[in-house]
A and B are shown apart, each in its own frame.
Chain A
Amino acid sequence: SYVLTQPPSVSVAPGQTARITCGGNNFGSKNVHWYQQRPGQAPVLVVYDDSDRPSGIPERFSGSNSGNTATLTINRVEAGDEADYYCQIWDSSSDRPVFGGGTKLTVL
């Protein structure tokens, strides 16, 4: 089955920019979605279809997808952004959604 690779952890100081990557084969042809999951809470969709933001999600959150890597970028990181972040795609070869393993964002 399709494998999405995320770094286990990313650390960033408040006010800086965090970049979380998600990799896979032939990634550029797939729509990538990103979820934020704070401890003890349900996931929240923060970016869909590579770079679109649902209503209510701050403009600090943005996404891109090129080649074999998608990136979630969080500008001007705040303490409240500390969470696990998951990427997700639709694997057309298996006709199934697939999640990445998740990245823990730590705000120093």
Chain B
Amino acid sequence: QVQLLQSAAEVKKPGASVKVSCKASGYTFNSYGISWVRQAPGQGLEWMGWISGYNDNTDYAQKFQGRVTMTTDTSTSTAYMELRSLRSDDTAVFFCARALAVAAIGAFDIWGQGTLVIVSS
């Protein structure tokens, strides 16, 4: 079945970087894009950005510009989200979600299970 499988939880120190993976299966990876969504503890959903599985075009939310990089490896149908210069308020669950290949327009129909990232000294 169609699914997105994310990497395991991470604990990082302030100032470090984290790279979360999202492996797709059950569909043609390069026919869709992947959006990344952050959810801080007890808070709502926050869109971080999107990457096309077709041509690697990216679009980042202004809040994360300069601190986030999204990439893909089409050979393994995997998307990655790297967040740098981590702060304690980056502690959150990060989700990947399937989106359109041309832009983050439209609904996100398949979601990964989420990856908890804890930033603590």
Q: Could you tell me which A residues sit within 8 Å of B by CB distance?
A: 31, 33, 35, 37, 41-45, 48-49, 54, 86, 88, 90, 95-102
- Tell me if A's interface is mostly helix, strand, loop or mixed: strand
- Tell me if B's interface is mostly helix, strand, loop or mixed: loop
List residues of chain A with CB within 8 A of the CB of B66.
Answer: none
Residue in chain A with minimal CB distance to B93: A42
List residues of chain B with CB within 8 A of the CB of A98.
Answer: 47
B6 to chain A, nearest CB (A): 9
B113 x A42 contact (CB < 8 A): yes
B109 x A54 contact (CB < 8 A): yes
List residues of chain B with CB within 8 A of the CB of A31.
Answer: 106
Per the bound structure, the CA–CA distance linking A104 and B103 in Å amounts to 29
A99 x B44 contact (CB < 8 A): yes
Per the bound structure, the CA–CA distance linking A33 and B100 in Å amounts to 14
Residue of B45, B103, B108, B114 most packed against chain A (CB within 10 A)? B45
Of residues 68 through 121 on chain B, the ones whose CB sits less than 8 Å from some CB of chain A are 95, 97, 103-109, 111-114
Residue pairs across A and B with Cβ atoms less than 8 A apart, 27 shown, are: A31-B106, A33-B106, A33-B107, A33-B108, A43-B95, A43-B97, A43-B108, A43-B111, A45-B107, A45-B108, A48-B109, A49-B107, A54-B109, A86-B45, A90-B104, A90-B105, A90-B106, A95-B59, A95-B103, A96-B59, A96-B61, A96-B104, A99-B37, A99-B44, A99-B46, A99-B47, A100-B44
